[in-house]
Structure 1
Amino acid sequence: MTMLGALLAHIAVNLLNEYQDNLSGLDFMTAKTPFSGGSGALQLNPNAANAVLNTFRVSVLLLIGLGIAFLFLKGWQILPIGVVGLSIVILYTSKITKSPWFCLISPGLAFGPLMVLGSYFVLTGQLSWLVLSLSMVPFFLVNNLLLLNQLPDLQADKKVGRYNILMKLGVRPSIYVFAGFELLAFLSLLITVYWFGLPVEILLAAVMFVLAIPMVQIALRHYDNPKSLMPALAMNVIINVFTPVLMAVGLWINQIH
């Protein structure tokens, strides 16, 4: 049920984003890359727009149903987590992308504290400062995933009224924010392991910092050249996927010993 809830939330926010970016015309203006610009599916098949919207609605209804089930099974503490998460899903494309600072942190808030802490609560019936601290790793990394992916779409985003951190601060200062978030992700991992006395095997995830350094260098040099930026976008995805995986592997290694 926990995995299904996480999957439905991810499905819902992407379907609504796809539908609304098609409706606003944004996805007709973006250059498609493996990491940004939308899927292009609705531009190729515009008649599918209603099906996408209806699938979003079904996903949200199922998500709300799961939330109500967790509310009765585990307690009221899941309610604020669910309400904030659902609000991000529904408001991300239409509202949040017009608020630079909230747009910057909402992806990480969803995939970090809300999803990690929410999952821990429905599995254990408890909230935990340790889990909240660990959730800061995906918080900073996922914020950076969306931040860097906004670079190729910058001009198109401006045309449809989006207002993200790249527009507010300028591109180069925003890359420094990106670099700071990357550093904070790995610092939060180190601090959590030290402060809570976690097994050192979790620090296996810190090996991904090796990719973070060239990624930031490429972003600083080529932020205005989408083609040259592609390796950094790819590294960003790899870091986001494998850092939490390696954290889990580290915990598993500790357990079998």
Structure 2
Amino acid sequence: MFAVLFGVSRANFLTLTLVCVLLAATAGWQMVAMSTWQNYLLVTLIALSAHISVNAFNEYFDFKSGLDFLTQRTPFSGGSGTLVNHPEASSIALKLAIISLCVVIFAGLYLSFQQNWQLLLIGIPGVLIIYAYTQHLNKNALACLLAPGFGFGLLMTLGAFWVFAGGLTAGAWVLAMIISLLVSNLLLLNQFPDVEADRQVGRNHLPIVIGRRRSAMVFTALLLASYGLLIIAVVMQLLPWQTLLGLLSLPLLLKLLPGIFKYADQPTELSPFLGINVILCHVYPLLLCAGLAWAAV
């Protein structure tokens, strides 16, 4: 049972959620003031439940559609394969997805009641994305590209900051946009090995529509935009200069981008670069956290 729950929740990837919440908490501390520990715990619970729910729905629907039997899995793409090995556990995956979504809804309603009803402007789209991502958004290339970043950046990270700080700042919007670009890119690159399998079940993401090599150009543009946004924000004094520590993650690009273009049409060779991209999506925000903490002391 534990192995099934671990697999369908993709627990090893939940660290990205913790990084997003940490960034919001550090930004709130640096820009405004410390929140209560109860708020930190509640926001972390909601964020983790949202991530678990979308993962479990994805595992369930991909198993039911037959995609899991077509995909060539890598450590970073293609799902966990848990339900392929344990088909009798598909109902457990669905229950986990629904229960986690209920936690998001009820905890989010409680938080909105306690703080500000306008938080529902973030919560309601978040709930819709959690359920709709696998079944509906994956059928539209633009929605499939933007939804992951929108969910983790402009909903999760920005929403967490709103709770911690009691409002929004221009700097918080910038940080949320950086996360949005990174996470959309994370999912974009992870789609490269799955093009053939995804096409067979009716998905229509960017690597299917314009090909892997052109998608690599989009990946590059979004990644460079995230660094450009950071620099502009510092120049405009929306973020403290210490957040330029985020630029220390740039050496990862020297390994990542050439590899993506070299192996764009050889997905079996892409796995190491998918891993580098996962590292980048953690290291860059953590360096931003370090810069914000530096500026706060």
Report TM bin, short chain: over 0.9
Alignment of 1:1-257 (within 5 A): 1-256=42-297
Residue deviations 1:75-121 (CA, integer Å, cap 9, x gap): 12111111111111000000000010010011111111111110011
Q: Matched residue of 1:92: which SS?
A: helix
Q: CA RMSD in A?
A: 1.1
Residue deviations 1:205-234 (CA, integer Å, cap 9, x gap): 111111123311111110121232122111
Deviation at 1:197, TM superposition (A): 4.8
Which residue identity is paired with 2:168? L
Q: Percent identity?
A: 39
Taking the aligned partners of 2:239 and 2:188, their CA distance within structure 1 comes to: 30
Q: TM-score, normalised by structure 1?
A: 0.96
Which residue identity is paired with 1:35? F
Which residue identity is paired with 1:171? R
Structure 1, unmatched stretches of 5+, are none
More displaced 10-residue stretch of structure 1: 80-89 or 222-231: 222-231
Taking the aligned partners of 1:7 and 1:65, their CA distance within structure 2 comes to: 14
Conserved 8 A contact 2:148-2:187: yes
Taking the aligned partners of 2:81 and 2:269, their CA distance within structure 1 comes to: 22
Taking the aligned partners of 2:51 and 2:294, their CA distance within structure 1 comes to: 29
Structure 1 residues 199 and 130, CA gap change in structure 2 (3 angstroms):
closer
Structure 1 residues 219 and 102, CA gap change in structure 2 (3 angstroms):
same
Taking the aligned partners of 2:226 and 2:63, their CA distance within structure 1 comes to: 33
Conserved 8 A contact 1:190-1:203: yes
Which residue identity is paired with 1:229? L
Q: TM-score, normalised by structure 2?
A: 0.84
Conserved 8 A contact 2:171-2:239: no
Q: How many residues align?
A: 256
More displaced 10-residue stretch of structure 1: 66-75 or 17-26: 66-75
Q: Matched residue of 1:152: which SS?
A: helix
